[in-house]
Structure 1
Amino acid sequence: MIVTSACNLPSCSYSICPFTDKQTQPRSLGSRNPLLFRLQAAKFSCCKANNQPEMAFITETNEERRSFKWVEIGPNITEEQKQAITKLPFKMTKRCKALMKQIICFFPEKGCLSDLLGVWVKVMKPRRADWLVVLKELKMMEHPFYFQVAELALLEESFEANIRDYTKIIHGYGKQNRLQEAENILVAMKRRGFICDQVTLTTMVHMYSKAGNLKLAEETFEEIKLLGQQLDKRSYGSMIMAYIRAGMPEQGEVLLREMDSLEIYAGSEVYKALLRAYSMLGDAKGAQRVFDAIQLAGISPDARLCGLLINAYQVAGQSEKARIALENMRRAGVEPTDKCVALLLTAYEKQNKLNEALDFLMALERDGIVIGKEASGVLAQWFKKLGVVEQVELVLREFAAKETNSSWC
């Protein structure tokens, strides 16, 4: 007998639980045991206590097993299924194509997916390479059965599962914020005797970070430390991002300094995220510290990074320092974007420094820099509030005329 979920599906060749490594093979019915035949015919079910899901105890005949082998791939399949089949790689082996076609045309009413894979394993005798080809194709297709096939593959001897296979599934679930499924895979991995390493735990930290669960991210990060190995930049980076997402950039910066002391250098994306966090909070000192650290790390600031620093000063209401940041940007050979100009004008507007703003605009005009749509919008709104739109336009026209005349002299 075998055990499988009662879902009015055809019987399975053997049952597989995605989170255990046990495979229950069907026993021989025996030609002289009428009781077993009556049970097989009745296909009776029973319910477990404590409101557990109903389980059906089912046996099967060889005829039933043969009838399940493959779904007929004929003219009755949908246009979408036809298109998916035609897009299968030309160099894919017949063994892999056979399974891919069945998965593409599979629907639950025809049976359970574990049956389909079980028959494929029995008949085609795939190797690990075949499994990997199928999983890669399902992932590229973003097929809804990808995770289910991946979990079932972990339990097949021919797949030769290793710890990285589990980590990949955990990472995949993490990207979709499916924390419970990821944790289930982690539990299954431990039950099968695999010991969590730094890569797997870092993946969990990243997942908890993305989900905004700082407590679990910190606990898992401490678990990495207990392994007794030196942490790498990915482990640190994942925890720094967790602090940033939790609105605690100072804690992230502490880890960044710890990395520097160990001569472990964070990726540019970590620096940028930390700078952005300080910028959005209006913490100008924190933003300047990170901006300086970026340059010490050998990362050349671009217009986007400079814009984040200017924004930090703008939010903090420090227009002069915002102006200095923009001028330093230009001296470094980085052309200010319209966004940067708009941020500085916004800083001037907050402090009602119209003269300084006009002086800045004239300096840009002298250097041949024309303000764009966003900066113009900031000016228009500001002048509208002041009720001096016409007067400012007149001053700018007169200034432009003087500049033109002086260029001819």
Structure 2
Amino acid sequence: MLTVDKEEAERESPKFKWVDVGLNLTEEEDEAITRIPINMSKRCQALMKQIICFSTQKGSFCHLLAAWVRRMKPIRADWLSLLKELKNLDSPFYIKVAEFSLLEDSFEANPRDYTKIIHYYGKLNQVSDAEKTLVAMRNRGFLVDQVTLTAMVQLYSKAGYHQLAEETFNDIKLLGEPLDYRSYGSMIMAYIRAGAPEKGEALLREMDSQEICAGKEVYKALLRAYSMGGDAQGANRVFSAVQIAGITPDVKLCGLLINAYTVLGESQNARLAFENMRKAGIKATDKCVALVLAAYEKEEKLNEALGFLVELEKESIMVEKEASAVLARWFKKLGVVERVGLLLNEFSAAQSLNI
């Protein structure tokens, strides 16, 4: 993070020598220069060439940027063009240019420019750099709004600083403006990561009372949290909330509901959830089949599992890799690996006679 004032840096450091990049280029540098977009302004192309050929032996990168500003007199469109290209290239110089631009009058910085840098640091889990950016934003007199604070909630959540995420979320509420689905969603995700899905669900209900719809990914994350913890009641509540919100459940959401029962070892409910999924017209995956079989295995209900397999066969649903692995493990434990085919044939014949 740039913490040194631009004018102070220029005053205390020597001028950067603008070099002719056409000389002594490496093959890699020459190729990179040919990929510079032709629709970039000439002043931007000039800086891109300098960046491609930059080395610390030539001086400070900040001095290079300062020299470019003095020579080329860029406007905001130039800065944005540079930042877009550097970001597309995943260049390590992207953040250096972004931070430097905030200090330039020609960039005409606004709050969203600071928020973008906070998002950048959030992806890298660089909390202290993001916090410094927030401080710099305030020091320059910009109002910190809901969008920026939401970015901080996301950052703290991802980094595992759940208390700070909650405090920042409360700061958003203190702004006195209606919260949007992004702010709510970010805090719900923070609670999920903190192992407190019930708090996230409470926020979901708060959103519902205000007729604010959460994104599908939020419902899915909350459902997964309950599912992996074997909280079938919680998983059911969220699954119902998904449908009330007008979101059509897909096979992944249904699989998470089935998994909640599997974790508990409730094979009857796992099978019921599986059948309800199919009745809704959702094609069963091998993962879902494996989950039902695992539930039967937990309760040692071999006959029921065999019956389930016969029904799948009637519906032309093939048992694939994941479900086969569950069966192999189970039959090996029972010591009947060599009799698997015979068992299935006998059971299938008995079922046919009953019909």
Q: Same fold (TM over 0.5)?
A: yes
CA contact (8 A) 2:306 2:347 kept: no
**1:404–1:319 distance in 2 versus 1, CA, 3 Å:** closer
2:265 is the counterpart of 1:317: yes
1:301 to 235, 249, 265: 249
Q: Kindly report which structure 2 residues correspond to 1:346-357, keeping only aligned pairs within 5 A, or say none.
A: 346-357=294-305
Alpha-carbon RMSD across the aligned residues, in angstroms, is: 2.0
Instruction: State the AA in 2 paired with 1:183.
Output: E
Residues 244-393 of structure 1 correspond to what in structure 2 (within 5 A)? 244-393=192-341
Cα distance, 1:401 vs. partner?
7.5
Counterpart CA distance in 2 for 1:235 and 1:186 is 17
Q: 1:26 to 1:84 in 2, by over 3 A?
A: closer
Change over 3 Å in CA distance of 1:76–1:142 after alignment to 2: same
Report the Cα offset of residue 404 of structure 1.
10
Deviation at 1:86, TM superposition (A): 1.5
Q: Distance in 2 between matches of 1:323 and 1:401?
A: 22
Please give the alpha-carbon distance, in whole angstroms, between the structure 2 residues aligned to 1:24 and 1:335: 65
Tell me the residue number matched to 2:82. 134
The alpha carbon displacement at 1:314 in A equals 0.4
More off after superposition, 392-401 vs 156-165: 392-401
1:249-296 deviation line (CA, Å, top 9, x unaligned) = 000000000000011110000000000111111111100110111111
For structure 1, the residue ranges without an aligned partner over 5 or more in a row are 1-16, 28-56
Output the amino acid matched with 2:268: E
Partner of 1:230: 178
Q: Normalised by the size of structure 1, how large is the TM-score?
A: 0.83
Q: Secondary structure at the match of 1:142?
A: coil
Tell me, in whole angstroms, the C-alpha distance in 1 between the residues paired with 2:81 and 2:34. Answer: 17
Matched, 1:94 2:18: no
Tell me, in whole angstroms, the C-alpha distance in 1 between the residues paired with 2:257 and 2:26.
55
Does structure 1 residue 188 correspond to structure 2 residue 172?
A: no
2:7 is matched with: 23
Please state how far the C-alpha of 1:189 moved relative to its aligned partner. 0.7
Return the offset for 1:397. 3.4
Secondary structure at the counterpart of residue 214 of structure 2: coil
2: CA distance, partners of 1:131 / 1:278: 46
**Matched residue SS, 2:3:** coil
TM-fit CA distance, 1:18:
2.0
State the shift of 1:83 in Å: 2.3
Q: Would you say 1:116 and 2:100 are equivalent positions?
A: no
Amino acid at match of 1:302: D
Give the alignment partner of residue 190 of structure 2, picking from 218, 242, 251: 242
What is the TM-score when the length of structure 2 is the normalising length?
Answer: 0.95
Shift of 1:82: 2.1
Distance 2:67 2:345 in 1: 82
Q: Using a 3 Å threshold, how does the CA distance of structure 1 residues 401 and 319 change in structure 2: closer, same or farther?
A: closer
Question: Aligned with 1:23: secondary structure?
Answer: helix
Task: Report how many residues are paired.
Answer: 353
1:203 to 151, 154, 178: 151
Question: 2:108 matched to which residue of 1?
Answer: 160
Match of 2:98 in 1: 150
Q: Is the 8 A contact 2:286 2:319 kept in 1?
A: yes
- Which residue of structure 2 aligns with residue 6 of structure 1? none
**Higher helix residue share:** 2
Aligned partners of 2:92, 2:72: CA distance in 1, in Å?
Answer: 24
SS of aligned partner of 2:316 = coil
- Give the residue type in structure 2 aligned to 1:69: K
Moved over 4 A (4+): 398-405
Task: Find the aligned partners of 2:106 and 2:60 in 1 and give their Cα distance.
Answer: 20
Q: What CA deviation, in whole Å up to 9, does each residue of 1:134-159 have, x standing for no partner?
A: 01111111111111111111111111
CA-to-aligned-CA distance 1:149-187 (integer Å, 9 cap, x gap): 111111111111111101100111111111111111111
- Indicate if the aligned counterparts of 2:17 and 2:58 stay in contact, CA closer than 8 A: no
Whole-Å Cα distance in 2 between the matches of residues 190 and 338 of structure 1?
53
